[in-house]
Chain A
Amino acid sequence: MENMLSHWKKAGVFAFLILFSLQTWFVYQHYKGSGLSRVPNPQRGEGSILSRAQDANLSALVRSLPAAQSAVPVANLPVTDVLKLYPALEKGMRTPFDLWRYYGKGSSTFSSPILPMRFEQWLEFHEKQKPQLMKDVRAYMGGRFDFSGKVLTHQWMSGGRKPVMAGPIARLPEEIPTFEDLAAMSPETIRAKDIFPYKPLAHPLQTTAHMLFPDSWTAAHPEHKRIDVDMDFPDAYLPEFPPPLFLTTHKELGDISGGQEITFRNYFEIFDGLLTGEQMEGLKELLRPSPTTWFNQTTHRLTLAPSDGVACLDCHTNGHTNGAIELGPDSRPNMARLRVDTPTLRGNYNLLQLSSKRSIRSLDHFSEVEEYFDGDPGMQQAIGPRAVKREVSNRMADFNAIIDYPPAPKLSPLMKLIPSLASEQELRGEKLFHGKAPNAPSATTVPPLSMTTSTTSVSSGFTSGDQKAQSKPSLCAASRIPLPTSMMAERPHSMIQSNFSISSSNSTSIEQKKMIWLPFSSVYNF
């Protein structure tokens, strides 16, 4: 009898636990999508069925994931079945490198200027974490790209001091020996095997993210050396430092900078008498540092010592770029933000659109809106002043509007190669470029990764200007078009951003996209 009672008691306990678990499940359904939850609520259309998804790009991206290779048609799978929820992390904690496999919302749109620990602990934490993180980051980058260190012979960046690298070249899976083999595969197969080599790169530490300067910059500016993470790209593959500066108003002078970095301290001496008063004021503003989310005078910072902040031309060094990266400020949660390179300012006067199509329409716009605080005006209120009035930003734009491309003597005023100056290879490249490669002779020229190739071609055609110093320029952008592998790998960031940006413009044709992504071409205008 007692034994019987004991069994009944145990059965009662199990029944209670089952009921309790069910209750938890019901509560969870209500909790999802609430203000506290990072899990979207499907009933509100968040993370809903792919067939109902508005964005074809997202669907395509999701279909490319290995989890999607199941018997269930992908169109019927909820996003939540093929993507993982972003991990719950505090500021400073490591993030997965394959963030494209994740989804979810943040607990809040708004950030806080308060660290999750005391500043002394913050320093200790990063001191412990950084060595292993950088080791892992370098191993990951080495697995993604072949940083062979090879240079393109006789190709120099516009200052003539740094060679243009033949790479980095994206690594292919072992079963795909060459890019020609990859080119021969259908997009569906590439998706199904999950072997697309240009998956997005995340910021190496996406919980803090923000501006990450290259080694060449931090060597000259140790005040921008971060305690949490270093640049993940080898310096050899980044633009030369300092780069030359060319002005549309003084083409006869060539490089105005004289080989030095233009700073707040020397700009007046260099430009006095060359610029208008408005341009001078604009340049001064571009050189004046101001606090940012993580470079500032408070303890909410990633530098050992309090920082004056960052100036526009700290990343856009000498009106070009030093290869610094950060995250596009146009999305939340932070882990969903896309990594972007610093675009050059060269030739912006001639560009239709700059950078992030979801946030920034032009560089003038960029200087007006709040990007130094990652798109969060609340952080600006808390940390420091940066509220540029329109009259000031217009003057910044005045200077921006005269930053020129490097000289390209082989180009006619109509931006076509002058046949008598160009090599046969360059002319073939130009023909390929202007013809949008309709008759590409073989897969070695243009692989059928249409967006990738298009984007890259456009990038190369307009940007490279890999000039062998000023005195011996040679337009080799066109000649590099038939080398898609190295070219594509040379601009991994920008290309990745452009190809994976989730757009609502489903109907945008490839031609239109080429135009849209034209500004990205300026990213590595060597």
Chain B
Amino acid sequence: MDRQKIDALTHSIFRLLVGAMYFHFGVLKFFPDLSPAEMIAEYTVGQLTGFRPDAKSILVVLAAMECFIGIGLMTGLLPRFIFCLLIFHIVGTLTPLVLLPEFCFKYFPIAPTLEGQYILKNLPLFASAWILIFPLAFPFKPKTSNE
């Protein structure tokens, strides 16, 4: 197997695994009490919305968003839409670090709690997704000689 094929295979596995992880964690949020992020996510939504609307229904939106990102990463469909979702998602998922530092850090910012680590793991996931989706969303166009 030549290097080009290995690279292509690696890229495919990378794409599938990152996408599957987004999809997996998204699907869990559709089922009450199954996702470990439920408490933090719901409470963050509550804080952002003044605890007025039902946070559970907003959690469903978050779940759907993660599932779309996962599908987009795995299939390469709608890359620009998925890219926008990705940006929106990472901002949302990091919000608890600011709004609920007491629950995310034993000592801010060095010693995160388990919940804090769960949130921080979104950063490498986001970076991976960026690497995968950005080239698709905004393909590199080499300058022509006329330019």
A residues contacting B by CB (< 8 A) are 10, 13-14, 17, 20-21, 24-25, 28, 31, 37-39, 84-85, 87-90, 93-94, 96, 116-118, 121-122, 124-125, 136
Contact = CB atoms under 8 A, between A and B. Distances in A.
A21 B32 CA distance: 14
Contacts of A20: 20, 23-24, 27
B43 A89 contact: yes
A136 to B, nearest CB: 7
A270 B57 CA distance: 60
B33 A38 contact: yes
Contacts of B77: 10
Contact of A39 (B33, B56, B71): B33
Interface stretch (B1-9, B34-42, B89-97, B126-134): B34-42
Given A39-B32, A118-B106, A122-B102, A88 B42 contact: yes
B76 to A, nearest CB: 8
Contacts of B56: 84-85, 87
Interface of B: 16, 20, 23-24, 27-28, 31-34, 38-39, 42-43, 46, 50-51, 54-56, 70-71, 74-75, 77, 101-103, 106, 113
Contact of A24 (B28, B55, B101): B28
A143 to B, nearest CB: 13
A17 B113 CA distance: 31
A89 B75 contact: no
Nearest to A13: B74
Contact of A90 (B33, B34, B39, B55): B39
Contacts of B33: 31, 37-39, 85, 88
Contacts of B113: 117
6 contacts: A85-B32, A87-B42, A93-B39, A93-B43, A124-B102, A125-B102
Contacts of A116: 103
A21 B28 CA distance: 9
A185 B143 CA distance: 77
A24 B27 contact: yes
A136 B51 contact: yes
Contacts of B50: 136
Given A24-B27, A24-B28, A94 B102 contact: no
Contacts of A118: 106
Nearest to B54: A84
Secondary structure dominating the interface of B: helix
A-B pairs, top 8 by smallest CB distance, nearest first, are: A121-B102, A88-B39, A125-B102, A28-B31, A117-B102, A10-B75, A13-B74, A38-B33
Given A24-B27, A122-B102, A17 B71 contact: yes
B71 to A, nearest CB: 7
B8 to A, nearest CB: 12
A24 B26 CA distance: 11
A94 B56 CA distance: 15
A214 to B, nearest CB: 25
A117 B71 contact: no
A21 B77 CA distance: 20
A314 B51 CA distance: 33
Nearest to B24: A20
Contact of B38 (A14, A88, A96): A88
Contacts of A17: 23, 70-71, 74
Contacts of B23: 17, 20
A25 B54 CA distance: 23
B109 to A, nearest CB: 13
Contacts of B51: 94, 96, 136
B103 A87 contact: no
A12 B101 CA distance: 41
A84 B54 CA distance: 10
A21 B38 contact: no
Given A24-B31, A31-B34, 16 more contacts: A13-B71, A13-B75, A20-B20, A20-B24, A20-B27, A28-B34, A38-B32, A39-B33, A85-B32, A85-B56, A87-B42, A87-B43, A89-B39, A90-B103, A94-B51, A136-B50
